[in-house]
Amino acid sequence: MTLTRRTMIRLASFGIAFAAILIALAIISTNHMRNYKTQLEASYQQSLGELSGCLEVVNTDLTKTLYSNSSKELYALSRDLYAQCQTAKNAVSRLPINQMKLGNVYKFLSQASDYAQFIGSRIESGKTITEKQHETLSTLLTYAEKFSDAADDMVTLSQSGAKITEGGVKNGEFISTKVLDTSFSEGAKAFESFPTLLYDGPFADQVLNKKSKLVTNSDVLTRDECRDIAAHALDVSSKRVVYAEDDQSKLPCYTFKCGRYTISVTKQGGYVKSILYSGASTSTAITEKNAKNLAARYLKELGFDNMKESYYSTQNNVCTVNFAYSQNGMYCYADLIKCGVALDSGRIVSLDTATYLTNHIPRNPFSPAISPADAEKKLSPYLTVNGTKECIIPKENGKEVQCYEFSCTSRDTGEDALVYINAKTGAEEDIMLLLYTDGGTLVK
């Protein structure tokens, strides 16, 4: 049979069309595969980030457990440690465990989780931690530090472009976890049975809705009066300060602009709530000590008296100093102000007084029921005391507690911490770990 020219053209057209369809399907399949890999990579990165964050908290909880000498605090820490281990295990289970060499991480988290149950069970039954159990916690902390560093390294690899889906991110060092005593697992009560309590943490409504007594008891000012205050704070003529908008937050303000500066002044009282400079600090011409002195002087000029430097950090050539209000030598840690100073010029580039404005009130004088020496006896025997302060600390339920602040060094880790002992009851109220970095001293 002879094919006509028209038939041959049709067959050729059909062939081309069929080939085009195959190519299109291949492209679609490739795109689907690429999209799937992209989504999978994003999911892996999210799980890796979650694992890294949980391991950091596990590290912190174990460290605080070594420092604590309070049954209440130890119980809370063991409960949180268990929860963090469980969350971290879930994150590991969503990752390619064998490919990323995470099997030993999962094993560690299981051991730490079980031990948290055991410690919580002992504390709940009125028992204390023995020397051997303290040593086990110290061993767990050693592993926690290693695994946390390893997870951070993997996050850095991922952020630099390495793909988990392509095997480019894995645990670079095999960390062998020795088998810990597992006898504690048998009698430990499962933490899932803990009663659900009404959470009164820092984000509870009663805290978020807290009204400032300092501001609400002050006179209402006009916009022009607030503009004059803003001009004085920026050391410029009022003509250069331009109204921008109303801030209707819990501390209602007028917000103004002046060049690269944005400044907010409360409508009642005329307090400077915030300052932000949008320019960059490009070099270092003054020292951090100079910056701290400039910040303290600036707060005094604005009318914030008796502010004592607490901590500072330096990033991008800006030194940010945290100040706490001091009442007759008693540090009030709820009354905080943060002030940023550019190291290239000494200019004030940021200010945040919202916490101070919200919480500042006259406090009762420090009236302890126990002496500093008696309070020191409440500390863990594994801590060496370096110094003591009188202070008031805010609690998660919005209340404040008079405490002795002990600056301590751990005999286990050699690291420093602040431990707060209730000056009335002798109870351990909180522990803060000190972090010394090139950019300053921070707490967690």
User: Quick one: DSSP state of residue 95?
Assistant: S
Q: What's the CA gap between 126 and 428, in Å, rounded?
A: 16
Query: In the structure encoding, which two tokens stand for residue 250, read together?
Result: 């819990």
Q: Is 370 strand, coil or helix?
A: coil
User: In the chain, what are the domain boundaries?
Assistant: 34-173+183-189, 199-278, 285-363, 372-443
Contacts of 234 (CB under 8 A, 6+ apart): 241, 258, 261, 263, 275
Instruction: Return per-residue pLDDT of the chain as tens, 444 residues.
Output: 555 666 666 666 666 766 666 676 666 555 555 565 677 777 778 888 888 888 888 888 888 888 888 888 888 888 888 888 888 887 877 777 666 677 777 778 877 877 877 887 777 778 888 888 888 888 888 888 888 888 888 888 877 777 777 766 565 554 444 433 333 333 233 233 322 222 223 333 334 457 899 999 999 999 999 999 999 999 999 999 999 889 888 899 999 999 989 999 999 999 999 998 888 888 899 999 999 999 999 999 999 999 999 888 888 888 989 899 999 999 998 899 999 999 999 999 999 998 899 999 999 999 999 999 999 999 999 999 999 999 999 886 678 999 999 999 998 888 899 999 999 999 999 888 887 776 677 777
* Alpha-carbon dihedral sign for residues 336, 441, 398, 386: negative
List Cα–Cα distances, 123 to 70, 74, 349, in angstroms. 10, 7, 48
CATH architecture observed for domain 285-363: Roll (3.10)
Alpha-helical (H) ranges within 217-307 are 223-234, 288-301
pLDDT given at position 66:
86
pTM metric for this prediction: 0.61
Domain 372-443 in CATH 3.10.450? The answer is: yes
Q: What's the CA gap between 236 and 223, in Å, rounded?
A: 17
Q: What's the CA gap between 200 and 85, in Å, rounded?
A: 23
User: Amino acid identity, residue 247?
Assistant: D
Q: What's the CA gap between 8 and 13, in Å, rounded?
A: 8
CA 273 to chain centre: 23
Q: What is the CATH number of domain 199-278?
A: 3.10.450
Q: Do domains 285-363 and 372-443 have the same CATH topology?
A: yes
